[in-house]
A and B are shown apart, each in its own frame.
Chain A
Amino acid sequence: MEMNTNIALVLVLAPFLGFLINVFFGKSLGKWLSGIIGTFSVVVSFIATAYFFSGISAQPEGIHISLFDWIQISNFNVDFGFQLDQLSILWLLFVTGIGSLIHLYSISYMHDDENMHQFFAYLNLFIFFMITLVIGSNLLVMFIGWEGVGLCSYLLIGFWHKNQEYNDAAKKAFIMNRIGDLGLLVGIFILGNLFSTVDFTTLKTAITTAPDYNDFWVAVAALALFIGACGKSAQIPLYTWLPDAMAGPTPVSALIHAATMVTAGIFMITRLNFLFDLTPSVQSIIAIVGAVTALVAATIGLVQNDIKKVLAYSTVSQLGLMFLALGLGAYEVAVFHVITHAFFKACLFLGSGSVIHALHGEQDMRNMGGLKKAMPITFVTMLVASLAISGVPLFSGFFSKDEVLLVAFHHNIPLWIVASIASIMTAFYMFRLMFLTFFQEFRGTSAQKHHLHESPSLITIPLIVLAILATIGGLISLPGNSWLNGYLTPVLPKLANAEHHLGTTEYILMAIAVIGGLVGIGIAYAKYIKQNTVPTEDAEITGFSKVLYNKYYVDEFYEAIFVKPINVLSRFFRDTIETALSALVFGFGKVTNEISYQGKKIQNGSIGLYLFVFVLGLCAIVSYLFLAQ
């Protein structure tokens, strides 16, 4: 076991070491070396993960490593420990894997930035925290990672810190995450109070064996944890930070805001599946929230013109689908979709990054077009990824999304309809993006046109790898013969009893999904290739599409009901209450002063009066002493 502990430490600490090197020596190392160290440290983690992955089949109950006592609470101790089981290793694999690719990509992408070493430091720190999140053996160690990734997200969104709008976006992301974090903390508190443990393994034993747990409080705990997941995984009502988070450099969007961090909520719920299984009411809330998020985000995505915003809303929408699956108890399906989504969404983001890179920062699709010839590799890889996300058969997205829809159909038809509409919209807006970006004529300035070029190989290699993964990723869980389900059985005990048979219904549903996807693509084709429409200018957008374009005014709504009142309250407190309280305190002084001033008048210097009062006082004292006896 000693060996395992060491390797686990290497797994966790390699990115941290990379972070430290980049923070302290990054500037003197130079851009290349700093990038290479950053990438290498993640690759080391990946290799360590691969080591554990290869050995996991021999240890179905997973590896548990306890390092030291961390926090002591009266009814339990929290130790700083790691838990490497099927679920966390799977997560680590794609976190470090995609992480390595994106690091590689960033070496080229960020090469022009003066603070590249900082960028790599933050990325490494992010990987470190993400690993901590996944690997933690209890809720609190997970919480370190949970908040840590939020911090890195804050740092990376605000990476270009000279722009206060980006800083606002970063702050917004952090604070919205923190709202969720409070939920998570409350969930932890309740679980701690109920079961006297926050360790996953003992919690599972406690919950599954406890004869009389309190239904209500378990549900509240689950709901609170779900709020935490909402914050991190950008679900309604806490999703608005994710589109704004696109202010960060594109590799960040790919790594943090598409592939890894935002799936933390799904990870947590999957991790605590035994808890959520006990609370059907919360599960239905999760499912509904997921479905509604999927639909709402998809509708907003329909009309966005910023290439990264489209992808962002698509991410929110896909996360919604994952939550739908979680809510229906199909954790393995959610995990499957997380993995395929990580592949194709990372690929899409990196592709869009490649495009933006080529156009020197241009993100508006109305100023793109016709890039197919100039950037063939980017085009092909993005096309593959788009096909995958749209659910075109044989690509990975087809399998995972289809399973989500299948599960939804089996449990709840309305949810299935909502999810299907969302997927059709997904197909539409993805191809809208593809057509607007790569087809027709170039609509940008001539200066940009001259500089159009395919990105360097450091950018294209990760794209190609991810495109391949996006194509074949579905193989890990083919319908009827799922490797993934078998792999996850120790973590998700329900799977052992679940039957996977493919009947007529399933094939019909598959067909519906495929047709839906193709219809979506078709509409996009008709509109943007056949009619050659280009989205109108901001000012000319009217009607419902204006509402959509402005994201249902949710930001404005939050601003009006939360931010503004708090600020007004703050000003009221600062100017009125504070002054009043202060005046009250000073009032005591003033009253004393006034009494003294009035009392001074008695001291008028008339000896006669003094003597008179003196005699009266004497009488009073004497008679008191006498009467008191």
Chain B
Amino acid sequence: MNNILNHIGIENYIFLSVILFCIGVFGVLYRRNAIIVFMSIEIMLNAVNLLFVAFSTYHQDAQGQVFVFFSMAVAAAEVAVGLAILVSIFRNLGSITIDNLKNLKG
């Protein structure tokens, strides 16, 4: 069976996920809208997932995919809870601009 990586090369996947990850980081830093921040986090998660899958293929091992599977489960849970929190924040403050969320300040 022909390994797909022989055509593409693992380094391309690495660069792709790094850039994707950085885009996620950038989004988290750049945007104030909590929803967008959330989306950026999802992008980061996906970048890592992509790498997992790539390495899974590289090692010819299913462990990486299993990990992605769990990571998706966690991501789903996280998004559900996170969005619920956002909803209740929006309900209380009328906005989801993260700069307004300063209640943690000591």
Contacts and interface: CB of A to CB of B under 8 A. Distances in A.
Interface of A: 600, 603-608, 611-612, 615
B98 interface: yes
Contacts of A608: 29, 32, 98-99
A615 B32 CA distance: 16
Main secondary structure of the interface of A (DSSP, over half): helix
A74 B21 CA distance: 76
Contacts of A603: 105-106
A615 B103 contact: no
Contact of B105 (A604, A611, A612, A615): A604
Contact of B101 (A607, A611, A612, A615): A607
A605 B98 contact: no
A600 B105 CA distance: 9
B105 to A, nearest CB: 3
The 9 closest A-B pairs by CB, nearest first: A605-B105, A605-B102, A607-B98, A605-B104, A603-B106, A604-B105, A611-B28, A600-B106, A611-B29
Contacts of B104: 605
B103 A605 contact: yes
Interface in B85-106: 98-99, 101-106
Nearest to B34: A607
A604 B101 CA distance: 10
A603 to B, nearest CB: 5
B35 interface: no
A606 B106 CA distance: 12
A434 B104 CA distance: 98
Interface residues of B, number: 12
A604 B104 CA distance: 8
Interface string B33-46: 00000000000000
23 contacts: A600-B106, A603-B105, A603-B106, A604-B105, A605-B101, A605-B102, A605-B103, A605-B104, A605-B105, A606-B99, A606-B102, A607-B98, A607-B99, A607-B101, A608-B29, A608-B32, A608-B98, A608-B99, A611-B28, A611-B29, A612-B29, A615-B25, A615-B29
Contacts, number: 24
B91 to A, nearest CB: 19
Contacts of B32: 608
A239 B95 CA distance: 94
A519 B78 CA distance: 121
Contacts of A615: 25, 29
Given A611-B29, A612-B29, 18 more contacts: A600-B106, A603-B105, A604-B105, A605-B101, A605-B103, A605-B104, A605-B105, A606-B99, A606-B102, A607-B99, A607-B101, A608-B29, A608-B32, A608-B98, A608-B99, A611-B28, A615-B25, A615-B29
Nearest to B102: A605
Interface in B58-106: 98-99, 101-106
Interface centre among A600, A605, A611, A615 (most CB of B within 10 A): A605
Nearest to B25: A615
Nearest to B98: A607
B28 A604 contact: no
Contacts of B102: 604-606
Nearest to B28: A611
A606 B32 CA distance: 11
A176 B13 CA distance: 94
Contacts of B28: 611
A486 B103 CA distance: 105
A611 to B, nearest CB: 6
Nearest to B101: A607
A608 B102 CA distance: 11
Interface centre among A603, A604, A607, A615 (most CB of B within 10 A): A607
Contacts of B98: 607-608
A329 to B, nearest CB: 86
B28 to A, nearest CB: 6
A605 B104 CA distance: 5
Contacts of B25: 615
Contacts of B99: 606-608
A483 B33 CA distance: 120
A567 to B, nearest CB: 51
A594 B104 CA distance: 21
A156 B104 CA distance: 76
A615 B21 CA distance: 12
A605 B106 CA distance: 8
A296 B99 CA distance: 93
A612 B28 CA distance: 9
A607 B99 CA distance: 7
Contacts of A612: 29
A611 B26 CA distance: 10
Nearest to A615: B25
A615 B27 CA distance: 12
Contacts of A600: 106
Nearest to B105: A605
A314 B104 CA distance: 89
Nearest to A604: B105
B35 to A, nearest CB: 14
B37 to A, nearest CB: 8
Nearest to A618: B25
A523 to B, nearest CB: 95
A401 to B, nearest CB: 91
A611 B105 CA distance: 15
A593 B55 CA distance: 50
A535 to B, nearest CB: 85
A606 B29 CA distance: 11
Contacts of B101: 605, 607
A603 B102 CA distance: 10
Contacts of A604: 102, 105
A420 B105 CA distance: 95
Interface centre among A600, A603, A604, A608 (most CB of B within 10 A): A608
Nearest to B32: A608
